[in-house]
Amino acid sequence: MIWKRRSLGNFAPFRLATFRAEVCPKVNLMKHPLALLALLAAFGQVAVAQEVKLVEQKDKSQVDVLVDGQPFTSYVYSAEQKKPILSPLRTSQGNIFTRGYPNEKIAGERTDHPHHISSWFNYGDVNGTDFWNSPPPGYSHKGKMPYGAVKHKSIKTINSGAGAATLEVSSDWIMADGSKVLQQDEKLVFRASKDLRIIDRIITLTAQEKDAVFHDSKEGAIAIRVTRALEEPSTKPEIFTDAAGIPTTVAKLDNTGVNGVYLSSEGAVGEKDAWSTRAKWMTLSGNVRGEDVCVGIFDHPKNVTYPTYWHCRGYGLFAANPFGAKEFPKGNPSKKALNFTLKAGQSETFRFRILIHSGKLDAAQTEAQYQQFLKDVK
């Protein structure tokens, strides 16, 4: 069993010997377990070893992530999908906060953008091929660019453990003509404590025989599509046009229980102020089925264009995009194109954290969590 502090995001062991010496030096606590538990509770300490277990289900093409035997999420890599996804995402209380569509139609949820599936990583324009909008099975739409797919290739490592588990996987970015433009090698670290669930995604992209050019597009890159409750209340129908020139109408719906609010590290609040800005972190907070929830995406100082650009929409798309500079006027007033390029054989590593907190987090608390991210992921 690992002794842990109750403070948010602290996964370091609590030293029992120090506690005994400083708090109760004359009592043999190991002979009085009830007294020990009472003292720990009084001092805000919790003796919890949350087991994070990874279970591969080859017949379902997924790896389930369990915390103390309860589902957290699954890494899903079925051949029919156009990209691996993490689906669904749950809070520490087991509350699902990602949208069910298109895999599951849930009353009251939006049914736009069928390529927005739970949580994923891809991009809207690599060498003139659209990986973002590539439609899932059963859906189709015509765009200005051919569609590519990110195809899962292999699972390299599965390690379960107390407090954290690690999954290492490899995928190929396949162009419309069948050629491979990028190899993606990824390390996912799933962490769990009392009120927290964390996913660290360390992604290395390697260009293959040709240069890989990430032409500026707002469609990218690490993303979550949330359930209706975490959207911002909609006052009128909206039409959004993607990088392929395809318009999508997002209808005005019943706003009962809809209460999502974005907050950036730079103080921007709501889509109106936060979309297309740059910030090192962004959170989306609200109440989901009676539970206060705060979901965050953290950018890392070693990532390209840090602090990243934000593609955060009130209708529920929450994404960080390090590549789309020209398409984000608030963060790039000059509208100068980036066109990030990996030369043939060249690699670049990206580091992101998805934070899921049961309860409210203000800016100072989120910043403390961000600093913990920098300690955990170098």
pLDDT digits (tens, 9 = 90+) for 275-333: 999 999 999 999 999 999 999 999 999 999 999 999 999 999 999 999 999 999 999 99
CB count within 10 Å of CB 348 equals 18
The 3-state DSSP composition of the chain as helix, strand, coil percent (nearest 5) reads 15, 40, 45
Burial class (CB in 10 A: 0-12, 13-18, 19+), 31: exposed
pLDDT reported for residue 244: 56
CB 117 within 8 A of CB 135: no
Residue carrying the six token digits 């990206």: 350
pLDDT reported for residue 345: 98
Q: The domain 52-376: what is its CATH number?
A: 2.70.98
pLDDT surpasses 50 at 41:
no
Alpha carbons 343 and 330: distance in angstroms, whole number: 29
pLDDT surpasses 80 at 3:
no
pLDDT surpasses 80 at 368:
yes
Give the residue-averaged pLDDT of 166-186: 98
pLDDT reported for residue 241: 60
Alpha carbons 133 and 12: distance in angstroms, whole number: 41
What are 60-106's pLDDT values in tens digits? 999 999 999 999 999 999 988 899 999 999 999 999 999 999 999 89
Reported as a pLDDT band with limits 50, 70 and 90, residue 4 is very low
Alpha carbons 327 and 305: distance in angstroms, whole number: 14
Domain ranges of the chain: 4-21+28-46, 52-376
Alpha carbons 64 and 115: distance in angstroms, whole number: 22
The mean pLDDT of the chain is 88
The conformation of residue 40, written as its DSSP 8-state character, comes to: H
Alpha carbons 187 and 221: distance in angstroms, whole number: 16
pLDDT reported for residue 292: 98
Give the residue-averaged pLDDT of 355-373: 98
Reported as a pLDDT band with limits 50, 70 and 90, residue 48 is low
pLDDT reported for residue 33: 52
pLDDT reported for residue 14: 33
pLDDT surpasses 60 at 111:
yes
What are 320-342's pLDDT values in tens digits? 999 999 999 999 999 999 999 99
| pTM given for the model | 0.85
pLDDT reported for residue 79: 84
